Amino acid sequence: MRAIVWQGPNEMTVEEQPNPPDPGPGELILQPEAVGICGSEIEGYLGHMGNRTPPLVMGHEFAGTVIATGEGAQDLQGARVAVNPLSGCDECKLCRAGHTNLCLDRILVGVHVPGAFADFVKVRAADARRLPDDVSMRVGALMEPLANGVHAVRLAPPGAERTVVIGAGTIGLVTLQAALLDGLPHVATVERDETRRARAMTLGAHADGAEPGEADLVIDAVGAEATRQLGLTLLRPGGTLVCIGLASDDTTLGFHGVIRSQHRIQGSYAYTMPDFDQAYDWLTSGAANLGDDLEPVRPLEDGPEQFARLANGPPPPEFKVFLAGTA
């Protein structure tokens, strides 16, 4: 099969790889038909993510068709599915408490095992969700990013009247949708790029509400030093900053202000299956609408060029770049 292989910082190739082994009990072989390029993968492509080791086939935002099944999963043969790529061991204390995303032995497709930027990918049947016939594969691939937004909103204390989402890239926009669908009454967006800001407005962002010291909740979907500092500036005393963006690792924050204002800084990593299922419900029902102008799926051969463009250029006009093979 063909796969996009990350060889190290700023280097990707499309090459022949062995097909995945036959599926074992509870496993599926999928032919991916839409695979989104995630911002964390761009950072990985640049060599900024220590959890990715080359050579690596990335790809964790995906949907496709089941072409082979293992024992116990035969009912999914031929099904169109979206996949939660993150799983825990299901046995440790964290997993038993429902925090599978924090399992020390967690597996993320495209990081710890080969991902979906390939003609075929192996996944757990338990992580697959059937797509209705009227839901496109591209929408199916957006369930993973939306699940991130669902999780971030659920980590915030209840009762926020004024919320600000910093950044209107993919994660910022899905977090905006999650906040609105969760019932938060006033959600504003801070975004420098005019195109991205306009898209946030069409999805329901309020035009005002990003004044210093007024927000009950700020969700930083960028993760740069400047945006983390901005998040604290926007918070009222006693407010919460949820950090989901991963643009930068090191950040210097003035903690006297954090302590004197009793600010809460909450990390948010990925999602659990209940978060993924909520994203699935919202997208398949049409409650979550991330725009009707999704880009067409590009072939795998375009992968290296698209990664280089996204890594080195200005913010792209597309909401999401999708790739897939044609096996």
> Is domain 2-142+290-324 given the CATH code 3.90.79.10 in the classification?
no
Which of the residue ranges 142-156, 161-175, 195-209 would you say has the lowest mean pLDDT? Answer: 195-209
Report the pLDDT value the prediction gives residue 213, as an integer from 0 to 100: 95
On the 0-12 / 13-18 / 19+ scale of CB atoms within 10 A, 36 is buried
Average pLDDT over residues 34-44: 95
Average pLDDT over the chain, rounded to whole? 95
The model's confidence at residue 238, banded by pLDDT at 50, 70 and 90, is very high
Average pLDDT over residues 138-165: 97
Residue 175 above 70 pLDDT?
yes
pLDDT tens digits for range 144-156 = 999 999 999 999 9
Average pLDDT over residues 59-74: 98
pLDDT tens digits for range 264-323 = 999 999 999 999 999 999 999 999 988 767 899 999 999 999 999 999 988 888 899 999
Domain boundaries for CATH 3.90.180.10 within the chain: 2-142+290-324
Domain boundaries for CATH 3.40.50.720 within the chain: 146-267
* Strand ranges inside 114-186, DSSP E: 121-124, 128-130, 163-166
Average pLDDT over residues 23-39: 97
pLDDT tens digits for range 203-222 = 999 987 778 999 999 999 99
**Cα(86)–Cα(101) distance, integer angstroms:** 7
Report the pLDDT value the prediction gives residue 327, as an integer from 0 to 100: 55
Report the pLDDT value the prediction gives residue 318, as an integer from 0 to 100: 87
Report the pLDDT value the prediction gives residue 88, as an integer from 0 to 100: 97
Residue 44 above 90 pLDDT?
yes
The model's confidence at residue 225, banded by pLDDT at 50, 70 and 90, is very high
Average pLDDT over residues 92-120: 98
Q: What are the structure tokens assigned to 242, written together?
A: 């949820």
3-state helix, strand, coil in the chain (%, to 5): 30, 25, 45
More confident residue, 211 or 27: 27
Residue 12 above 90 pLDDT?
yes
Superfamily of domain 146-267: NAD(P)-binding Rossmann-like Domain (3.40.50.720)
Average pLDDT over residues 140-147: 97
129: Cβ contacts below 8 Å, ≥ 6 apart: 81, 82, 83, 84, 143, 276, 277, 280
Average pLDDT over residues 213-238: 97
Report the pLDDT value the prediction gives residue 19, as an integer from 0 to 100: 96
